[in-house]
Chain A
Amino acid sequence: MGEVKKHDTPLLDELKSGPWPSFVDDIYNYAEKHKKQAGFDILGQMELSYKNKETHWKHGGIVGVFGYGGGVIGRYSDQQEKFPAIWAFHTVRVNQPAAKWYHTSALRKLCDLWDHRGSGIMNFHGSTGDIILLGTVTEQLEYIFYDLTHQLKMDLGGSGSNLRTPECCVGMSRCEWSCIDTQDIIYELTMQFQDELHRPAFPYKFKIKVSGCPNDCVAAIARADFSIIGTWRDDIKIDQEAVRAYVGGELKPNAGAHSDRDWGPFDIKKEVIDLCPTKCMFWDEGQKKLYINNRECNRCMHCINVMPEALRPGDDRGATILMGAKAPILEGAQLSTVIVPFMKLEPPYDNLKNLIYKVWDYWMENGKNRERLGETIQRIGLNRFIVDVLGLKPIPQHVREPRSNPYIFWKEEEVEGGWTRDVAEFRRRHPA
């Protein structure tokens, strides 16, 4: 590397101070140390954005690696003369290992690759979960891909109208509440759906996320077209001794989550029994015993969160499958809707894979351009999606409440005698 050219960035420099880690300081240190012009140029262009209050990236740009239709986002500066080192600044999405565990040997090697072939700037991680390598030129893309696959045994993530990189919570690797093996499910699905991940053939993006329990730490219900959330069907397991320890103040409620404020002594009635959304719990003060009417429990997790030493999800575990979440663009935000209330998930998860294929078959055929699954479901009606498309039985769990209007699209075969009627016959009964 020869001489590097620095730019004045008085506005950005103000982001070096303050206690939160500063990306400005980090990028400057890196650029100085490695004599990377891209580091200086990216901050130079960012400074210009801070001055003009507008982005300085051109619209899109289709680039990629041979045989894949996604995984690389093209990006070009609209200030190429001022900032030549970032004239092209493409993003490479790298599929993260499930639950984002790493060994430093792999991370260091990835860093070496990115120093050599890119800007050295990255995101750990992108919103969807990928490792994001920010900033390279078109000529490097194939080499980066060869390095990833040959030297790192890594592959690209999704982008565009394809399956986006599936993501999960920490799951069984470190959480006592995970009712399903989120990491194994995500790994299996990602391997099964490599073609859908790399070669866009969908009406729009499709996201799959797996959370181990209804706390939903990957926000599956808010973000994923296909949300898999662990749950259980039998009784919450109670350790009455530990319950008494919470009541007696020996154990800290909510694992100590409220430690920096004096909320007074733990009050099981006020903090657990009364907050239970289904009012299915009872604390017998005399007996010092907790009762749960599990039939009425809706598994919100509150009592388990408050008393993790005492309460645990039951043993009959599986997942609820919900579908259709998306951000507001375009018809408004949607949360996922319950489709399959309870599904057993055991390797190799064929039931789950088949359900996903079934949804894709329909959506690929019938979804409009840039229509998310949730919008397709709305357009055709949840009832038709459940009954006609998936062949499932409609049940009250599918809705919060039944419809309030009687404008029902009756099917002809449901109506006695069908719809073909004889008007002359009608008029014989009812002269006009």
Chain B
Amino acid sequence: MSERPERPDPIYFEPYDPTLAEKLYNPQKPMENRITDIGPPHYWQFLPPVIQRNYGKWKSHEILQPGVLKYKSETGDVVYVVRCGTPRLETTDYIREICEIADKYCDGYVRWTTRNNVEFHVTDEEKLRALIEDLKSRKMPGGAYKFPIGGTGASVTNIVHTQGWIHCHTAAIDASGVVKAIMDELFDYFGSHKLPAQVRIALACCINMCGAVHCSDIAVVGIHRKPPLIEDDRLEKVCEIPLVIASCPLGAIKPATVEVEGQKRKTVRVNVDRCMFCGNCYTMCPAMPISDGQGDGLAVVVGGKVSNRITPPRFSKVVIPYIPNEPPRWPTAVKWIKKILEVYSQHANKYERIGDWIERIGWERFFELTEIPFTWHLIDDYRLAYDTYRTSMHFKFTNHVETMVDFE
């Protein structure tokens, strides 16, 4: 086992020296004073003493109220955790405020969850109550909570998401703004335990799906709907044409030579009938921009999960093929997500995840109950599409079925 440093490295208690790097780094001799491959700080030094003492000895836990957990150890020790949502995209001042809280109540220790929640740990109930009151009282100038408490049990916990327009060059939609709009609307579900099971929502701003949203109860995925533009005058200078051609999963790109202002230029042509708007060509070639304000928007996928609980992990399925971008609050997307969540909440059994519920009632019933229009876009025609065809008599007569009498 790696050696466990018991306390945070003393270096962290020395103030930051803004001039040190200029003294150490010499552009003429880039290897001078260079430290490399040291890896991350050892995790052990950042564990609160109660966590170090009870590492691997935890016995059970209890959710005292939404967002507040109690862990009991075999040693008799107890630790309370308060979980708060964060925007993930945040400033150093926001992190400093977290530090201030952690210093005040938690001896300076704090952790984040995989789903962008921040967790504060205390060992006595009095501190716990004071911490909760303090967290509830902190608001932003616009009225938002800084540290909403929740995200445990049968709730909608924080959304995992990508960068969007704040930082990404392939984004078809924004990320942080859509997340803010969704979480504002579902806020009540973050801080309560009234759903049949936990609901994991995710967002990816294009189908590269950084962070893999494809196994979420509900997810939003940015999509393009127009074929890439082709900058003939620039393409051969900035792209490797064979790589661009190879990048297309449907073989829709072929090499071409065209004349631009009397000069022969090597470029490519796209067979637009075969384009599925994945944007992989743009990833390989900056001269094939695919984003378009009119064409881009989002798809909604549902029913996926990661946990092995009761049923195996499964992929989310597309239920709404396209909703236009509607900044700043994406009302149509938010409306449908809330509708899916509430129809699920009304109809599912206890412990049933969205995908398990749909599996039980059938997709045809899901579309009937949610009133989401079923269109041709939802029938798979990509790889392994056959696996999704209905090859049995087991279906229900929902309102989609019209009796066929005549066929002309």
Contacts and interface: CB of A to CB of B under 8 A. Distances in A.
A112 B162 CA distance: 25
Contact of B64 (A113, A174, A256): A256
A288 interface: no
Interface in A235-258: 252, 254-258
Contact of B167 (A34, A57, A306, A330): A57
Interface in B3-49: 8-9, 11-18, 20-22, 24-25, 27, 30-31, 33-43, 45-47
B16 A109 contact: yes
Contacts of B90: 23, 26, 121-124
B63 A219 contact: no
A325 B16 CA distance: 40
Nearest to A133: B92
Interface stretch (A42-50, A357-365, A419-427): A42-50
B12 A103 contact: yes
B167 A134 contact: yes
Nearest to B287: A59
A259 B153 contact: yes
Contact of B85 (A20, A123, A195): A20
A339 B102 CA distance: 42
A257 B154 contact: yes
Interface stretch (B257-265, B305-313, B398-406): B305-313
A26 B87 contact: yes
B71 interface: yes
A156 to B, nearest CB: 9
Nearest to B8: A103
B375 interface: no
B47 A257 contact: no
Contact of A55 (B12, B165, B310): B165
B128 interface: no
A184 B166 contact: no
Given A109-B16, A331-B249, A181 B36 contact: no
Contact of A104 (B89, B99, B162, B246): B99
Contact of A217 (B15, B31, B114): B114
B103 interface: yes
Nearest to B30: A66
Interface residues of A, number: 150
B381 to A, nearest CB: 12
Contacts of A218: 114
Interface stretch (B322-330, B336-344, B365-373, B389-397): B322-330
A53 B327 contact: yes
Contacts of A66: 30-31, 34
B153 A335 contact: no
A233 interface: no
A122 B211 contact: no
A348 B2 CA distance: 8
A302 interface: yes
A15 B177 contact: yes
A45 B158 CA distance: 26
Interface string A81-119: 000000001010001111111111111111111111000
Contact of A95 (B39, B64, B187, B243): B39
A330 B249 contact: yes
B56 A331 contact: no
A190 B293 contact: no
Contact of A329 (B8, B65, B209): B209
A252 B152 CA distance: 15
Given A151-B17, A255-B63, A120 B12 contact: no
A327 B214 contact: yes
B374 interface: no
Interface in A211-240: 214-219, 221-223
Given A57-B167, A123-B88, A333-B315, A17 B144 contact: yes
B97 to A, nearest CB: 10
Closest 6 A/B residue pairs (Cβ)? A127-B211, A257-B153, A16-B142, A18-B184, A59-B286, A327-B209
Given A11-B328, A101-B47, 11 more contacts: A98-B40, A101-B46, A103-B108, A112-B15, A112-B16, A120-B91, A128-B211, A153-B9, A214-B308, A256-B193, A335-B215
25 contacts: A19-B184, A21-B144, A50-B174, A50-B177, A53-B325, A55-B165, A57-B165, A67-B31, A96-B40, A111-B92, A123-B88, A144-B21, A152-B12, A170-B113, A174-B58, A190-B39, A219-B215, A256-B64, A258-B193, A301-B307, A308-B61, A327-B210, A330-B280, A335-B215, A347-B2
